Amino acid sequence: MLSYKRQIMSVLAAMVLVGCASSPTGRSQFLLISPEAAIVESETAYLSTMGDLDRDGKLVTDPDLLGRVARITGRLVTIAETSFPDTRDWQWSVAIIDDPETVNAWCMAGGRMAVYTGLIEQLQLTDDELAQIMGHEISHALANHTAERMSRAIATSIGVVAVGVAADNSAAAMAGAAMVANVALELPNSRTAESEADTIGMELATRAGYDPEAAVTLWQKMGSLSEKRPPEFLSTHPEPANRQAALQRQIPTMLALNPTRSKAAITEIDMVR
């Protein structure tokens, strides 16, 4: 048992870095896990999720919709890789999930994304608005928000693991360790992270050739939808009216980044189907 306890504690020590980092906007981040470790855990979760969706026949195969999302996201990835060279090694991929009731999209650490048909259909998104959504989600990955969420999960779960080890309870220790990854990927981003992703995503979309004004019309649509039924996408996001005002203030700065709206080249990415 002593050897087992040493192994568990070694794993915990390897995971916990306890260090400060800075996001792309200069915000201080306190990370208990490295961005690289977050990518590894995200890959495992993504492949498992895609496998389940594939078995259930929930992955969209329509070539027109796949092509549209690939074109828009591919331009955003081009800008992301230019601005963040380390991401050129990421396994960029997008899945379109056939779920007309779900208004949501996400991007895990390492560039693995998903968008739900409910988001596109219920909001009747233009290409510019879809670019704002996907730019926002990509920005969560660029800013290491997954690692931040995992750090929050570690802070709440590590005690469970430590207690299990101290009590020679291998089942409790293993359950606590597994909980770290599973809980982390289900936690919402903080409102600070959401606002940060708004700014970074708006810049990505503008540099990729999409209208920054679409960020405002997007959240107008989100606000209208939330009056009828709060979408999952808005559960932890800033209030739509405040968000629109904040984005509106940034439009002049964004327009200066790409005044001609010239479109970026399209990076080929894996479309999961």
Torsion on CA atoms 196, 200, 203, 204, rounded to nearest 10: -150
Query: Could you give phi then psi for residue 62, rounded to 5 degrees?
Result: -60, 120
Active-site position among 129, 137, 148, 196: 137
Q: Strands 270-272 and 93-97, how do they pair?
A: parallel
Q: Is 52 exposed, middle or buried (0-12, 13-18, 19+ CB in 10 A)?
A: exposed
Alpha-helix runs per DSSP H in the chain:
2-15, 35-55, 63-83, 117-122, 127-142, 145-166, 170-184, 191-207, 214-228, 240-257
CB-side exposure of 125: number of CA atoms within 13 Å? 28
43 is catalytic: no
- As given in the structure block, the two tokens for residue 213 are 């004004």
CA–CA distance, 89 with 110 (Å, rounded to integer): 9
User: Which residue numbers are catalytic?
Assistant: 137
